[in-house]
Structure 1
Amino acid sequence: MNGLQSLILLLLSYCSCRTIEAPKTQPALLIVSYDGFKQDYLNWNITPNLEQFREMGTSAEFLKPVFPTTTMVNHFSIATGLYPENHSVLGKANYDSKLHRQLKYSYELFHYDESIVPIWTANELAGGHSGCMMWSGSNFEFKGKNCTFTMKLDKSVSFKERVDIVMGWFTHKETPANLVMMYIEQPDSDAHKFGPDSLQAMEKVSEVDNLAGYIQRKLVEYQLENRINVIHLSDHGMVGVGKSNIIDLTQFLKNGTYQMYGSSPVFQVVPIDHDVEQEIFTDLTKAAQQNGHFKVYNQENLPTRWHANNARRMGPIIAVADINYGFHDLYRYPNTTVHGVHGYDNAEPAMNAFFMAKGPLIASGKRLSTVNNIDLYNLFCLILTIECRQNDGSNNPSIWNELFVNVNNDENERSNYIPFHS
């Protein structure tokens, strides 16, 4: 049992399984996600603001992403508490075998199952007001509701401008937000172009660290620091892939027999004719054995621990490159010496993300071990004092109460916090 699971269990053991009335002073939550901010960046002595934040609150040794370790997939797992095989956002571009076409960022991509309730929708249904700042999927309606405040991805809006907008959401006179989810596309964007350990990536790491400091100063300026609990996290890590480590999958297959969807290091191979499926799988499997730097799966042998076995949107054949290797799509960037790549097996330490939290409900100076990002949904519900919807997070009682959320042992105080329902 990991630290996060242990935390949730003890708190839930204190709670009754009934819907309760929210406290008079409703707690609020700000979640800030920095795309591609690998956990190792925190050890490079270039993040003083995040380091100070970590020391004053609770943090994890690392945050474990889901597979594939890509942006859209993990942001939706964080928002729903569901594995990709259940929420079915398995990449930013997937072939849907039922619809017989590729799905990119769209309403359809995020609505495979109408029972899915992201945290921003759960909060709205509970009477709260959610602010969704460029978070994947948040600009679509769920259960007939939109976020009270929404801004689609717009990279022309500076990071500080985004924070200023968010502060306006929290302080809105009529519908003040009690939950805001905020997405920052760096350092991922520059790390892809120049490599995760490049000077350009380091400059972006420093920039988002300064942003974390700016957020804290704004909370003080708006007198929100005693109301808002802040979580800083990332979605996945990243590694460098040199030109010599690029594998051209097309050389192993016959032209006109297949289509490929996805991007390095995960490709979905779809035969044009079902009759050649076994032949394609056999050819790719032999090539993988000879090459030694990628693996090939079908629905029968896809690792169950990945929780990505959704036949409709992950399959029928999947090629996955080994860590530090990539596929032929990387040739699109001929002037790039080292490509920044993520999406690999989530058991790879290099794919680890980070997690830290601070605020009026957050214990100071606590350290957790491994935190699985699908468990965060239940934490969000706990902080917001709302009922969690069905999710794949830990069903075990936990000790959030002891090590994370500052709730005293008074029975009346504990009654303000409700358990999740899975």
Structure 2
Amino acid sequence: MSVHSMCLVFLNIFLCGFLHVESSNKVLVISMDGFRWDYIQKANTPNFDDFAAKGTRAKYINNTFITKTFPCHYSIATGLFEESHGIIANSMYDPVTQKHFTMSSKESFWWDGGEPLWATVQRSDLRSAVYYWPGSEAEIRGLRPNIYFPYNESVNFYSRVDTVVQWLANDSYNIDFAMLYFHEPDHTGHMYGPDSTEVLTKVEEMDAILGYIVESFTNASLWANVNVLVTSDHGMTEISHDKTIDLLAYVDNAAMEQVPSMGPVANIRVADGMLEEVIANLSSAPHLKVYRREEVPEFWYYKNNERILDIVAVADEHWSIIMNASAYTYNGKGGHGYDNRLMSMKPIFYARGPDIRSGYETRPFNSVDIYPTVCRLLGARPAPNNGTIEHTSDFVTLPVSQAASVRSQTVLSVSLIYVSMAIFCVQEVLRI
């Protein structure tokens, strides 16, 4: 082929597609909801053990307050404390819009307080896919995942794995980053309690799921270029029907305008002029700590948001805040949402992949550190966040400086080469 012909071919490729650079490995983040850190010690989990032997594990990690599914998952996705991203409970009230949030709410204004990983990677010219994650069905800051599904709890766990493996292995999807969610062992923990045989059986079933993920990755030759992070949102503790704190036993219903969330923590909007009286009355309740919003302890990072209402009432572990004991019918034996400093609320963390240290146990770190860690592994530029990249530097083998700039530097360098070649080819073609 002549130089002239070669230049024409090159220019056609250059102008049609310009450039796609694979300069970083892919990442998959998996959450097994309600997987308490010490379940591993109580159940038979050979696949988790093998995963740790070939990668890194933490004894536990520190999640955000309150320790509920939606707030904690969105903190993992955004690297932000709950007061920063605004998803402060599974159920909440927004005093600005006067709207109520449920776990089915998809309006953008609820979620725009943070930039989740699937949006961050898209801003770095990568592609994302999410198989269920709180917020993934909403348009957030103008973006949605490139691939996502409406939540459907009935979808088989193995089927979810098969789909995610296809995303990462099949070039037609061209997915760089994926998230995968399982609602167990949380569901079983709520029904039977964390110390039940049913939970241990479910933990062993989730261990089998992890084994299937590992096997599927091996069969698809993904371990060479995909880093896998396995974590959870929170733990679980024992609760009982006789350990309840009835708000109406201490405060008149008319004094509380909004109580959108209860259980371990009650978020209360008080009628005008009633704040001091309500605080005084609730403060007499046993097993309950009562805070004005501005007096919530700093270590919870849970006061600088308008959706956190006038009073934050926090129950002692094992106790539940309710409204009207005579109508209370919940009979679950497990709960979460309590103080994130409690060991019963701590979740798991495991990681394995080409950029992860092997056979290593890292010190406990914060769930908000996962966001900048994923950005580092992908070479993506993170949005402002509350995470600390140094907290995970001991087990991520990719240097921080390299990870932070590898994609942009590679794209720039290769782009300059291609541009130079294009200029040469144009000159060569014109000369002919």
Q: TM-score, normalised by structure 1?
A: 0.86
In structure 2, how many angstroms separate the alpha carbons of the residues matched to 1:46 and 1:329?
Answer: 40
Match of 1:153 in 2: 151
Whole-Å separation in 2 of the counterparts to 1:85 and 1:148: 28
1:296 and 2:287 aligned? no
Q: Determine which structure has greater relative contact order: mean sequence separation of CA pairs < 8 Å that are 6+ residues apart, divided by chain length.
A: 1
Whether contact under 8 Å (2:24, 2:377) holds in the other structure is: no
Give the distance between the partners of 1:113 and 1:193, measured in 2 at CA.
Answer: 30
Cα distance in structure 2, aligned partners of 1:282 and 1:100: 27
Q: Is the 8 A contact 1:264 1:330 kept in 2?
A: no
Asked which structure has the greater CA Rg, the reply is 2
Task: Supply the distance in 1 between the matched residues of 2:402 and 2:62 (Cα, whole angstroms).
Answer: 35
- Range with greater deviation from structure 2 (22-31 or 364-373): 22-31
When residues 398 and 205 of structure 1 are mapped into structure 2, their CA distance, relative to the original with a 3 A threshold, is closer
- Asked if 2 retains the 8 angstrom alpha-carbon contact of 1:30 and 1:229, the reply is yes
Q: 3-state SS of the aligned residue for 2:115?
A: coil
Mapped partners of 2:268, 2:231: distance in 1: 32
Residue 209 in structure 1 maps to residue 199 in structure 2? no
Amino acid at match of 1:407: L
Letter in 2 for 1:131: A
Which residue type is aligned with residue 33 of structure 2?
D
Letter in 2 for 1:348: L
Shift of 1:170: 1.4
1:364 aligns with 2:355: no
Matches within 5 A, 1:16-165: 24-105=22-103, 106-108=105-107, 111-112=109-110, 114=112, 116-165=114-163
Contact 1:407 1:414 survives alignment (8 Å): no
Instruction: Name the structure 1 match of 2:373.
Output: 379
1:263 aligns with 262
The corresponding residue for 2:415 is none
Shift of 1:142: 2.1
Residue type of the partner of 2:90? K
Q: Give the direction of change, closer, same or farther, for the CA distance of 1:165–1:197 in structure 2 (3 Å limit).
A: same
List aligned pairs for 1:215-294, cutoff 5 A: 215-258=213-256, 259-271=258-270, 273-287=271-285, 291=286, 293-294=287-288
Please, which of 376, 387, 404 is the counterpart of residue 395 of structure 2?
Answer: 404
Does the 8 Å contact 2:132/2:151 carry over to 1?
yes
Rounded to whole Å, the distance in 1 between the matches of 2:36 and 2:403 is 37
Distance in 1 (CA, whole Å) between partners of 2:309 and 2:233 is: 24
Q: Deviations over 1:152-207 (max 9, x none)?
A: 22111010010111122113433321111111100101111111122222222111
1:310-321 correspondence to structure 2 within 5 Å: 310-321=304-315
Aligned partners of 2:43 and 2:281: how far apart in 1? 47
Q: Work out the CA distance in 2 between the residues paired with 1:351 and 1:384.
A: 29
Answer whether contact 2:120 2:382 (CA < 8 A) is retained: yes
Provide the alpha-carbon RMSD of the alignment.
Answer: 2.5
Of the candidates 192, 195, 211, which is equivalent to residue 197 of structure 1? 195
Identify the match of residue 406 of structure 2 among 413, 416, 419. Answer: 416
- Structure 2 unaligned segments of length 5 or more: list them: 1-18, 410-432
Q: 2: distance between equivalents of 1:324 and 1:164?
A: 38
- 1:278 is displaced (CA, Å) by 2.2
Q: Distance between the aligned counterparts of 1:52 and 1:238, measured in 2?
A: 25
Deviations 1:290-345 (A, max 9, x none): x2x11111123211111111341111111111111112369777473x62111111
Give the secondary structure class of the aligned counterpart of 1:62: coil
Cα distance change of structure 1 residues 412 and 76 upon mapping to structure 2, 3 Å threshold:
closer
Deviation at 1:399, TM superposition (A): 7.1
Q: Residue 134 of structure 1 aligns to which amino acid in structure 2?
A: Y
Separation of aligned partners in 2, 1:149 and 1:75: 19
Using the TM superposition, give the Cα deviation of residue 100 of structure 1 relative to its aligned residue in structure 2, in angstroms.
2.4
CA contact (8 A) 1:22 1:416 kept: no
Which position in structure 1 is the counterpart of 2:301?
307
CA contact (8 A) 1:387 1:418 kept: no
**Alignment-mate amino acid for residue 254 of structure 1:** D
1:326 maps onto 2:320 in alignment: yes
Task: Work out the CA distance in 2 between the residues paired with 1:231 and 1:182.
Answer: 10
2:247–2:324 contact (8 Å) kept in structure 1: no
Structure 2 CA distance for aligned equivalents of residues 350 and 174 of structure 1 = 43
Q: CA deviation at 1:23?
A: 6.3
The answer to whether the Cα contact below 8 Å between 2:61 and 2:365 also exists between their aligned partners in 1 is yes
- Where 1:202 maps in the other structure, the secondary structure is helix
Segment drifting more, 302-311 vs 354-363: 302-311
CA contact (8 A) 1:31 1:231 kept: yes
Q: 1:415 to 1:327 in 2, by over 3 A?
A: closer
Q: Is the 8 A contact 2:61 2:349 kept in 1?
A: yes
**1:126, 1:119 → 2: CA distance?**
11
8 Å CA contact 2:294, 2:303 repeated in 1: no
TM-score by length of 2: 0.84
Cα distance in structure 2, aligned partners of 1:359 and 1:118? 22
**Distance in structure 1 (CA, Å) of the matches to 2:139 and 2:252:** 42
CA positional deviation for 1:407: 3.5
Provide the rounded CA distance (Å) in 1 between the counterparts of 2:342 and 2:193: 18
Q: Is the 8 A contact 1:382 1:417 kept in 2?
A: no
SS in 1 for 2:296: coil
8 A contact 2:194–2:334 mirrored in 1: yes
* 1:6 paired residue number: none
The 1:113/1:47 distance shift into structure 2, 3 A limit, reads closer
Find the counterpart in structure 2 of residue 354 from structure 1: 348
Equivalent AA in structure 2 for residue 228 of structure 1: V
**Aligned equivalents of 2:182, 2:352: Cα separation in 1:** 19
